[in-house]
Structure 1
Amino acid sequence: MTPTATFETARAPRRLALFDLDHTLIPIDSDYEWGEFTIALGWCDATEFKRRNAEFFEQYRAGTLDIHDYVRFATQAIREQGTMNSIAAHARFMGEIVQKAIKSQALELVGRHREAGDELVIVTATNEFVTRPIADAFGVQELIAVQLERDEQGNLTGEISGTPSAREGKVTRMEQWLAARGLDWSQVETTFYTDSLNDLALLEKATHPVATNPDERLRALAKERGWRILDLF
């Protein structure tokens, strides 16, 4: 290999495949479905929880969600039930709900990027408790999710630790992830898959934005900007 070739290889950007999770890799909202699952377990008042859960979900779709309020609400059952009960319940949730929602075409998409040598990262606005086992089911180690604050005894407080990975926060958390590896945006080539206009900030940062199962607003914007549109489901 010539010195020039070696230099060019050294400068080649690292390729990252970034994936939103809910309605992108899986055709459900995992946080919403986890809430419904806790209702079925009798962990909360069904009528009140369903009302508030649906309200928060519509706020998310409209881009008006206060994620701090939502996380306090979404983690209440976990905090009341304790760690062991919650982990056991989530294992059931994975078997009864999530595994059935993981489609072959999503696994194949992730697999193609893995085979191409891309680094895989799931970047989601859902919290780490709900999403870590789902990322594992896709074989993706790198997960950027909403981090949950814990007290000195290791119990969840209902608050968020650090910057929530939602909306513009996804860009902030990705920049933190890159910096921890001695990288910045100029040193990576990124493909980002998402269904939602909520992720516009990260779509605009990505080298290759892909509107995946896009909602109406994102589909219209993707057509306007010439972004790739992927109807995975």
Structure 2
Amino acid sequence: MNKLALFDLDHTLLPIDSDYEWGQFLVRIGAVDARAYARRNDAFFAQYQAGTLDPVEYLEFALGTLARFARRDLAAMHAQYMEEVIEPAIRPAALDLVRRHLDAGDLVAIITATNHYITAPIAKRFGVEHHIAAMPEVDSAGKLTGKLAGTPTSGPGKVVHMHAWLAALDRPFGSFESSHFYSDSHNDIPLLSIVSHPVATNPSAALAMHARSQGWPLLHLFND
């Protein structure tokens, strides 16, 4: 594993935002108050698109919602969410891209700002063992507290968390002969800027403009 391949998740490997869609799913199945939850979820999503989102505030809103439910109920809801929302959104082009890196023997990870609970099964569906995401805090009994453990995995935080993950593997970033990072978001410019092969994937307008100025390739996976 002399090459590193990193992938953002939402709007990069998936044509949807898994975090936002989880909230919409909870509303649809009646697990949360529809009007109040949808209002806050929509407001946070608009802040994300505008680049003004406070990641800790949003994550603790999302994690606080998870903490209301027993683990067995969460597991049942997540299985339904995977079947009804995630599976129909998965595109062959995204699976093939990940598979090419895995088959080449690269060290592959999905690194996402969305929380670990929501995204771990999605990473598994893509066949990716290594998964870096915002971690929910748990108490001594293993119950979700609704708080964030550590720092967010967004923006510059992705760089910090990537280095910590590689250090735990005893594989420092500089030991790889090449590194790819695929992302759609201008929020990921800090990590895109340090890999040897940044790829603006299904890029937002802001990222597409920056990528062109830097000579980075643009990749569109969802033009079917």
TM-score class, shorter-chain normalisation, is over 0.9
Q: How does 1:15-26 map to 2 (within 5 A)?
A: 15-26=3-14
1:78 maps to which of 52, 66, 70: 66
Structure (1 or 2) with the larger CA radius of gyration:
1
1:232 correspondence with 2:221: yes
Letter in 2 for 1:218: L
Note if contact 1:19-1:194 (Cα within 8 Å) is conserved in structure 2: yes
Counterpart-to-counterpart distance in 1, 2:65 and 2:189? 31
Q: Tell me the residue number matched to 1:134.
A: 122
Q: Tell me the residue number matched to 1:179.
A: 167
1:166 maps to which of 143, 146, 154: 154
Runs of 5+ unmatched residues, structure 1 = 1-12
Provide TM-score, normalisation by structure 1.
Answer: 0.92
Provide TM-score, normalisation by structure 2.
Answer: 0.96
Note if contact 1:38-1:77 (Cα within 8 Å) is conserved in structure 2: no
Counterpart-to-counterpart distance in 2, 1:49 and 1:147? 22
- Structure 1 residue 60 displacement after superposition: 1.3
Note if contact 1:210-1:229 (Cα within 8 Å) is conserved in structure 2: yes
Q: Tell me the residue number matched to 1:218.
A: 207
- Structure 1 residue 64 displacement after superposition: 1.7
Note if contact 2:16-2:89 (Cα within 8 Å) is conserved in structure 1: yes
1:96 correspondence with 2:84: yes
1:69 maps to which of 50, 53, 57: 57
RMSD, aligned CA: 1.1
76-85 or 26-35: bigger deviation: 76-85
2:189 maps to which of 200, 209, 212: 200
Sequence identity, in percent? 48
1:150 correspondence with 2:138: yes
Letter in 1 for 2:184: D
Letter in 1 for 2:205: E
User: How many pairs does the alignment contain?
Assistant: 221
Counterpart-to-counterpart distance in 2, 1:162 and 1:207? 28
Counterpart-to-counterpart distance in 1, 2:151 and 2:63? 17
Note if contact 1:163-1:172 (Cα within 8 Å) is conserved in structure 2: no
- Structure 1 residue 220 displacement after superposition: 0.5
Note if contact 1:79-1:156 (Cα within 8 Å) is conserved in structure 2: yes
Counterpart-to-counterpart distance in 2, 1:59 and 1:77? 19
Counterpart-to-counterpart distance in 1, 2:107 and 2:50? 31
- Structure 1 residue 184 displacement after superposition: 2.2
Q: Tell me the residue number matched to 2:97.
A: 109
